[in-house]
Amino acid sequence: MTKSQPLVSVLCTVYNEVLYIKKMISSLSCQSYCNLEVIVVDDGSNDGTADVLRSEVQEKSWLKVVFLTSNKGKAFAQNVAFDNAIGDYICLHGGDDESHPDRIKRQLEFLLRYDLDCCITQISTCDEEGVILEKEFSKFISFTKSPEEILKGSSFPAGTIMMSKSRAETVYPLPTSLPYEDRWITFKIQKNCKALGFVSSPLYFYRQHKGNSYLLKNGNSYLLQFSALKKMKERDFIVDKVLFNEFSDDEQSELKWLFCFKEAMVDRLKSNEIVRFDRRVLLSNRISFGSKAFYFSPSIIFFIHHLKSRFYRNSTSSIAGVKVDGGVILYN
């Protein structure tokens, strides 16, 4: 690969990944595609990760490291990484995962060959030592999933994403109050991409261990305990629209989805389509309408946004997957 080819920016955020960070960097240093930069944002690690990064950055000109003085959360750190990226294409990577030596090359070739602005790859899972657990984590990664599936787990592994800078600009900045940034990223890609490439070879190695976000996401503490959305129908969640004009443009943009949900969506929901939200997530933010206070989080907003597009989609429409050399192109 020559320098005349597009620059790829690999974004990686880390927090206390001292056991795996060198392996992650090593997998990127072995890439067959050379015109890349790797931007690592250390989110206030206190386990020695920062020391490893300081050593690595001295030896590798293509590695950029940003150190945050305190733990700000993955979404905040992702925004910092994106702000520092200058590449024509953006590639995401987990701090404890590894990539196949041809990952960057093959994903970029796939994008350029089929004139796409985003693609993902098949993945393999591995354990703490890098031993492969599953050669193919998913037989087929769907372009769209139900709101329940998006909220319970990512629609596709965010760490496998490569997208054009222009596509990334429709995803970033990420809302920093969202509990899991990968769900927002995959949601925005699903919503805005007319076509998504899927490279069928496993080019990404997802490491499963007791400290990673995969296990944390699937705990019972997050989205599974009660039906807060159903209760929206039972109470006056939104008061007089006149008060709507008292909010700023940004606040109005967020609140429009709540109006839409109450007026156009809630009566059309079937019982088996009501997602159960953890009340702690629902009550994470507060907005006052006059003398009344109402609570919601960005998670609610993004879920409602997805519901709106889902219910207004032609009920007979379907996702068409076209097999091509090296993978599948999914059309929305």
- Whether the pLDDT of residue 87 is over 80: the answer is yes
Task: Compute the average pLDDT of residues 69-92.
Answer: 95
Q: How far is CA 80 from CA 42, 65, 97, 123, 182, in A?
A: 10, 11, 20, 26, 15
Residue 48 has what pLDDT?
Answer: 94
Integer Cα distance of 156 and 126 in angstroms? 17
Reduced to 3 states, what is the DSSP secondary structure of residue 99? Answer: strand
- Whether the pLDDT of residue 312 is over 60: the answer is no
- Its CATH architecture, for the domain 8-221+324-331, is Alpha-Beta Complex (3.90)
Delimit the domains of the chain by residue range: 8-221+324-331, 228-311
Integer Cα distance of 63 and 72 in angstroms? 22
- Whether the pLDDT of residue 144 is over 60: the answer is no
Residue 209 has what pLDDT?
Answer: 60
Q: What is the pLDDT of residues 165-189, one digit of tens each?
A: 999 999 999 888 665 677 778 878 8
φ, ψ of residue 133 to 5 degrees: the values are -95, -45
Structure tokens at 86: 């200058």
Burial of 3-22, coded b for 16+ CB within 10 Å and e otherwise, reads eeeeebbbbbbbbbbbbbbe
- Whether the pLDDT of residue 56 is over 90: the answer is yes
- Angle, alpha carbons 123-127-131 (nearest 5°): 80
Torsion of CA 120, 186, 1, 82, to 10 degrees: -170
Which residues face 328 on adjacent strands? 198, 323
Q: What is the pLDDT of residues 188-243, one digit of tens each?
A: 887 788 888 989 899 999 887 655 543 343 333 233 222 333 333 333 333 334 44
**Identity of the highest mean pLDDT range in 36-40, 155-159, 238-242:** 36-40
More confident: 134 or 168: 168
Nearest residue to 80 via CA among 98, 67, 95, 97 = 67
Q: Across 100-251, where does the E strand assignment appear?
A: 118-126, 132-134, 162-164, 195-207
